[in-house]
Structure 1
Amino acid sequence: MSLHFFSLAQLEILCKQLYETTETGVRLQAEKALVEFTNSPDCLSKCQLLLERGSSSYSQLLAATCLSKLVSRTNNPLPLEQRIDIRNYVLNYLATRPKLAEFVTQALIQLYSRITKLGWFDCQKDDYVFRNVIADVTRFLQVQTVEHCIIGVTILSQLTNEINQADTSHPLTKHRKIASSFRDSSLFDIFTLSCNLLKQVCASGKNLNLNDESQHGLLMQLLKLSHNCLNYDFIGTSTDESSDDLCTVQIPTSWRSAFLDSSTLQLFFDLYHSIPPSLSPLVLSCLVQIASVRRSLFNNAERAKFLSHLVDGVKRILENPQSLSDPNNYHEFCRLLARLKSNYQLGELVKVENYPEVIRLIANFTVTSLQHWEFAPNSVHYLLSLWQRLAASVPYVKATEPHLLETYTPEVTKAYITSRLESVCIILRDGLEDPLDDAGLVQQQLDQLSTIGRCEYEKTCALLVQLFDQSAQTYQELLQSTNSSTIDITVQEGRLTWLVYIIGAVIGGRVSFASTDEQDAMDGELVCRVLQLMNLTDSRLAQAGNERLELAMLSFFEQFRKIYIGDQVQKSSKISGDSREQPSPTCRFGLKVILPYPFLVTWSVLLLTW
């Protein structure tokens, strides 16, 4: 029996079978029947009946879903008049039923967004009938109930998101034409509306009860709307999220007024301090986008003023860090800090009035974060990225104001190194996941540390020498003792694994700075220690080995080869000079080195003089 003869009651039974049954066979039969229903001639009228008379929210959901499929199909599309009628019907339906089930409201808003996007260039009597989106939602925003306001704001937010996303069932060129037209005709007005509504929220802060679910929901939707506007793909590049720390937001020139007005930036900083931690990550996400606005939007004076307000806001957050105990807030704030350097030059930052205090606060925040490595490990990348870019900029900064990095980069380097060593015992004791097992994460952090550690390299080298000698001496004593526990040996092997990785990284960081003979000699001191350790570990391979430590050795040799042995080495340094000119290595824990790799044979004479 063809489904278009099915009664409303029978359709509702199919809805229950689709959404409520736990029996796979029954659900598959319902899906098959409803696909036939979607393709039936009277689907449109039956969907309206389901919306009007359906006894359950699932009936309304089915109707909204089927209508979305109808308006999206590319073969045999619905006539323009029918699509206009559906659009108007959906708006009226939402306006007269503000308390539908959330998933039904979302499905209907999705239907409205899809009709609007696909009909963006459709005309009726020289009028682009689907473009009056702000007028469509004004009726919701003017009503005094919070529920209506939420629907209106959600419509704009979902529409912005819908138009920003390419649809695989339609040509990419059509998507870009629609997205560009929407950007030029409507997006700024929508963003301005969202900011004005947020300002009203701030102004009525005393009357706003965020413990009330509906008021909380309204503020969340406003923040999502603002973020969707700022996160729009303005130039059609579809930036890969994996490179978001390098992203520049290509705000159109027509938006300049919003960012020259400091009240826009101040609005989001004020919101951060006045709303609960459950919502403030969205505020910080907006601030990340605002901080990434393209440099060319401003002239030099305007950019300096904008940066000054941005740094002041960051300083205020650092001075009142209570909300950063929330992992989501913490993560977004780390992203915000990283954008300070990815979008601005060190020479610009040092000219900000509060720079000395801000760089001190950022350094303290970074050190504390590194010491509590288990809190939000995925966020550390952004902090190291910030310091890596700051350190790499030191040779090029021309400003007369002090950058103070010679004071703070050693603190960051020390915090990273010591926290990794301290983590070894904690991971073994508590059975936590070992970061050393994530080769990609380790390599990423080491690449960043390689630049940070070469800034004030004397301090980095002295710290590594001290820590390595302590761990190596303890390790050797444990191996020679008959009463040593396996746990104690494993802890020292873990510490030495991190140290070998880090030594390889800082040697590899030599390419980031103009190196001196003294720094090459420091490299020699570090290399000597790793080679001594290698001799010790090789001597006990027959009894036991440590895979992580061996991998660290391979990483170290790869870095050493690139810097001092590879074909591209431009400079003959003392590290490979006549051994008679070399001081004897100071790291001696009773081992004579036997080099097993052919390309290192000359080192037995040139570096390791015993």
Structure 2
Amino acid sequence: ESLHMIQLLAQLEILCKQLYETTDTSTRLQAEKALVEFTNSPDCLSRCQLLLERGSSSYSQLLAATCLSKLVSRTSNPLPLEQRIDIRNYVLNYLATRPKLATFVTQALIQLYARITKLGWFDCQKEDYVFRNVIVDVTRFLQDSVEHCIIGVTILSQLTNEINQADTTHPLTKHRKIASSFRDSSLFDIFTLSCNLLKQVRNLNLNDEGQHGLLMQLLKLAHNCLNFDFIGTSTDESSDDLCTVQIPTSWRSAFLDSSTLQLFFDLYHSIPPSLSPLVLSCLVQIASVRRSLFNNAERAKFLSHLVDGVKRILENPQSLSDPNNYHEFCRLLARLKSNYQLGELVKVENYPEVIRLIANFTVTSLQHWEFAPNSVHYLLSLWQRLAASVPYVKATEPHMLETFTPEVTKAYITSRLESVHIILRDGLEDPLDDAGLVQQQLDQLSTIGRCEYEKTCALLVQLFDQSAQSYQELLQSTNSSTMDAAIQEGRLTWLVYIIGAVIGGRVSFASTDEQDAMDGELVCRVLQLMNLTDSRLAQAGNEKLELAMLSFFEQFRKIYIGDQVQKSSKNSTGHSGACVFLRFLTRPVGTL
């Protein structure tokens, strides 16, 4: 019998090696086929145990863990309860007695534990829900070495993740029942445990690889708890801005007590930049806790602590040079406005200082247009929402946006124009080639630019006239370089897009005759430029500039000509939009 076992073991070890290591396709396919038979054999369970007990390679341990995961997930002919309890206990003991397994083996065994626990969540033995004592299961790990501690925390983290994710093999209703039962019975205890352990490890020696690893797993655990789909709506990731975290009422204590929020801000300042993005991700979720968790006074206090934390990060911005930190921090800033109203923000004690710091941070970010373009979306989203709130703010405290919004508008416009020369000179990727991104930014700018519109308009007129004049002179000159012409065309392309956007932004605000006249000044310039570029089409056309013109006309049509035009849309002499358009077309062209 034992000889047979030794031969079987040797054969399985060879198959594992072939499966995970060989580069020869046919050998690997044969190994896969043999291992499928192995999984389907009646004594698969005992063989997996044999591999775990006596296998000499990490690959055989991995194979055993994956096979067992398949066995416990079977919907037809499921394993009896006693057997699943045995596997669960065996896995926990195995992990406890072998803390130095290969990472991928530990990971596969923890995944196996999570799968058994999730699928057996409603299983009872003598009126006891045998798979629910998860905190008891990991306590022995948490009281041992750092390696053991990491395993214990990873078990809770992986379990939270596993329960939060629906799988294709089991009905969605079963998944939701398990997830809501787990949420009500265990999740808050797990989150509290993660916070308590984070408080303890703040003073760890982070040069020690093990302790660094423990902190990372604890932050992942806290993030998985805060990221849980509390009400089963699973909004998709793309609707990031609209996110509200539906924290259950039973968690109120953790958020009324400012020490939870303080813990994460303190961690951000005390740990290496490689780990702080995880801290900021947790803060993004905490900042998005549903408003109805608090009464007005509690919310004001919570917001005040949140704004203080943001201020401290802006005053010590060293870690923000890391792109991941920078990205998460931009998301955090956007959440300040998506979850709180301008009227609440202006009442925060440090508001004037904070809005100044945020404006400076935004302006600097926009000037470095080549750094983290995907993060800028969140900053523009913040300013768009702030600008859109101005007409509605009832608070007597000054919002100061009339000072700072034009700075943001100016930084966006001038930085896009300055980018043209550098992109052409260094052969970089042109942001104008990404139509989706440009459109998204222009939509945001359309609202931001209408705040203090006369400043926006004056700036656009000044920049447009400079570029158009340079362009005209270059076309008339006999010895101008194509590079110089390309630079002015690129700048004009951006300006035409931006003018179209700010005219389109008229729908967001009650417009005045003066503003309609300003629109007229801008429209007139674009139409004169179009006359010039049309006259050159036979020799040379610029596709990007033509596309910008189309975008401009789409906005102009929507605001001043289409059937949806608001009746109040008149220019300064009281004509309707269509008349404005005709007047511009018949206006003498003169010099650009």
Distance in 1, Cα, partners of 2:4 & 2:182: 38
Structure 1 15/544 Cα, relative in aligned 2: closer, same or farther at 3 Å? same
- Partner of 1:605 in structure 2? 587
Distance in 1, Cα, partners of 2:309 & 2:429: 36
Offset from partner CA, 1:451-474 (integer Å, 9 cap, x none): 000000000000000000001111
Offset from partner CA, 1:110-148 (integer Å, 9 cap, x none): 000000000000111111000000000001001x31000
- CA shift for structure 1 position 572: 5.2
- Partner of 1:32 in structure 2? 33
Distance in 1, Cα, partners of 2:287 & 2:484: 47
Matched residue SS, 2:122: coil
Distance in 2, Cα, partners of 1:432 & 1:288: 33
Distance in 1, Cα, partners of 2:467 & 2:487: 10
Long gaps (5+) in structure 2: 571-580
Structure 1 416/37 Cα, relative in aligned 2: closer, same or farther at 3 Å? same
Aligned length: 580
Asked if the contact 1:410–1:453 (Cα under 8 Å) also holds between the matched residues in 2, the reply is yes
Structure 1 430/602 Cα, relative in aligned 2: closer, same or farther at 3 Å? closer
- CA shift for structure 1 position 602: 7.5
- CA shift for structure 1 position 485: 1.1
Matched residue SS, 2:264: helix
Structure 1 132/552 Cα, relative in aligned 2: closer, same or farther at 3 Å? same
Matched residue SS, 2:207: coil
Matched residue SS, 1:543: coil
Offset from partner CA, 1:131-168 (integer Å, 9 cap, x none): 000000001001x3100000000000000000000011
- CA shift for structure 1 position 23: 1.0
Distance in 2, Cα, partners of 1:329 & 1:602: 49
Offset from partner CA, 1:297-318 (integer Å, 9 cap, x none): 0000000000000000000000
Distance in 2, Cα, partners of 1:69 & 1:273: 43
Matched residue SS, 1:67: helix
Structure 1 395/177 Cα, relative in aligned 2: closer, same or farther at 3 Å? same
- CA shift for structure 1 position 484: 1.2
Distance in 1, Cα, partners of 2:23 & 2:477: 63
- CA shift for structure 1 position 528: 0.4
- Partner of 2:149 in structure 1? 149
Distance in 2, Cα, partners of 1:188 & 1:535: 66
Offset from partner CA, 1:334-362 (integer Å, 9 cap, x none): 00000000000000000000000000000
Distance in 1, Cα, partners of 2:375 & 2:95: 40
Distance in 1, Cα, partners of 2:370 & 2:477: 33
Matched residue SS, 1:207: coil
Matched residue SS, 1:606: coil
Matched residue SS, 1:601: helix
Asked if the contact 2:524–2:584 (Cα under 8 Å) also holds between the matched residues in 1, the reply is no
- CA shift for structure 1 position 171: 0.2
Offset from partner CA, 1:341-398 (integer Å, 9 cap, x none): 0000000000000000000000000000000011111000000000000000000000
Offset from partner CA, 1:391-418 (integer Å, 9 cap, x none): 0000000000000000000000000000
Asked if the contact 1:3–1:40 (Cα under 8 Å) also holds between the matched residues in 2, the reply is no
- Partner of 1:9 in structure 2? 10
Asked if the contact 2:528–2:589 (Cα under 8 Å) also holds between the matched residues in 1, the reply is no
Identity %: 94
Asked if the contact 1:528–1:608 (Cα under 8 Å) also holds between the matched residues in 2, the reply is no
Distance in 1, Cα, partners of 2:370 & 2:85: 54
User: Pick from 387, 394, 418: which aligns with 1:391?
Assistant: 387
Asked if the contact 1:3–1:36 (Cα under 8 Å) also holds between the matched residues in 2, the reply is no
Distance in 2, Cα, partners of 1:404 & 1:237: 38
Asked if the contact 2:204–2:211 (Cα under 8 Å) also holds between the matched residues in 1, the reply is yes
Offset from partner CA, 1:232-258 (integer Å, 9 cap, x none): 000000011001111000000000000
Matched residue SS, 1:351: coil
Offset from partner CA, 1:262-311 (integer Å, 9 cap, x none): 00000000000000000000000000000000000000000000000000
Structure 1 605/572 Cα, relative in aligned 2: closer, same or farther at 3 Å? farther
Offset from partner CA, 1:393-445 (integer Å, 9 cap, x none): 00000000000000000000000000000111111112211110111000000
Structure 1 572/316 Cα, relative in aligned 2: closer, same or farther at 3 Å? closer
Structure 1 3/312 Cα, relative in aligned 2: closer, same or farther at 3 Å? farther
Asked if the contact 2:527–2:585 (Cα under 8 Å) also holds between the matched residues in 1, the reply is no
Distance in 1, Cα, partners of 2:188 & 2:426: 52
Matched residue SS, 1:448: helix
Distance in 2, Cα, partners of 1:103 & 1:609: 71
Matches within 5 A, 1:433-452: 433-452=429-448
Structure 1 447/70 Cα, relative in aligned 2: closer, same or farther at 3 Å? same
Asked if the contact 1:563–1:569 (Cα under 8 Å) also holds between the matched residues in 2, the reply is yes
Distance in 1, Cα, partners of 2:554 & 2:590: 20
User: Pick from 250, 274, 278: which aligns with 2:274?
Assistant: 278
Matches within 5 A, 1:377-456: 377-456=373-452
Distance in 1, Cα, partners of 2:421 & 2:191: 50
The alignment's TM-score, normalised by the length of structure 2, stands at: 0.96
- Partner of 1:499 in structure 2? 495
Asked if the contact 1:166–1:175 (Cα under 8 Å) also holds between the matched residues in 2, the reply is yes
Distance in 2, Cα, partners of 1:277 & 1:5: 51
- Partner of 2:291 in structure 1? 295
Structure 1 606/396 Cα, relative in aligned 2: closer, same or farther at 3 Å? farther
- CA shift for structure 1 position 571: 2.6
- Partner of 2:163 in structure 1? 163
Distance in 1, Cα, partners of 2:365 & 2:121: 48
Matched residue SS, 2:333: helix
Which 10-residue stretch deviates more, 562-571 or 462-471?
562-571
Matched residue SS, 1:602: helix
- CA shift for structure 1 position 515: 0.3
Structure 1 472/175 Cα, relative in aligned 2: closer, same or farther at 3 Å? same
- CA shift for structure 1 position 27: 1.1
Asked if the contact 2:18–2:31 (Cα under 8 Å) also holds between the matched residues in 1, the reply is yes
- CA shift for structure 1 position 24: 1.4
- Partner of 2:187 in structure 1? 187
Asked if the contact 1:235–1:250 (Cα under 8 Å) also holds between the matched residues in 2, the reply is yes
Distance in 2, Cα, partners of 1:225 & 1:3: 46
Structure 1 607/388 Cα, relative in aligned 2: closer, same or farther at 3 Å? farther
Distance in 2, Cα, partners of 1:126 & 1:289: 37
Which 10-residue stretch deviates more, 538-547 or 248-257?
538-547
Distance in 2, Cα, partners of 1:466 & 1:4: 89
Distance in 2, Cα, partners of 1:25 & 1:339: 53
Long gaps (5+) in structure 1: 575-598
Distance in 2, Cα, partners of 1:431 & 1:158: 45
Distance in 1, Cα, partners of 2:203 & 2:418: 49
Asked if the contact 1:331–1:379 (Cα under 8 Å) also holds between the matched residues in 2, the reply is yes
Matched residue SS, 1:209: coil
- Partner of 1:530 in structure 2? 526
Asked if the contact 1:4–1:42 (Cα under 8 Å) also holds between the matched residues in 2, the reply is no
Distance in 2, Cα, partners of 1:9 & 1:366: 63
Distance in 2, Cα, partners of 1:108 & 1:315: 43
User: Pick from 255, 260, 263: which aligns with 1:264?
Assistant: 260
Distance in 2, Cα, partners of 1:563 & 1:207: 60
Structure 1 226/607 Cα, relative in aligned 2: closer, same or farther at 3 Å? farther
Structure 1 606/393 Cα, relative in aligned 2: closer, same or farther at 3 Å? farther
Distance in 2, Cα, partners of 1:18 & 1:428: 50
- Partner of 1:590 in structure 2? none
Asked if the contact 1:453–1:506 (Cα under 8 Å) also holds between the matched residues in 2, the reply is yes
Which 10-residue stretch deviates more, 40-49 or 344-353?
40-49
Q: Does 1:110 align with 2:143?
A: no
Asked if the contact 2:457–2:518 (Cα under 8 Å) also holds between the matched residues in 1, the reply is yes
Asked if the contact 1:524–1:607 (Cα under 8 Å) also holds between the matched residues in 2, the reply is no
Structure 1 529/55 Cα, relative in aligned 2: closer, same or farther at 3 Å? same
- CA shift for structure 1 position 607: 10
Asked if the contact 2:61–2:105 (Cα under 8 Å) also holds between the matched residues in 1, the reply is yes
Distance in 2, Cα, partners of 1:524 & 1:199: 60
Which 10-residue stretch deviates more, 24-33 or 247-256?
24-33
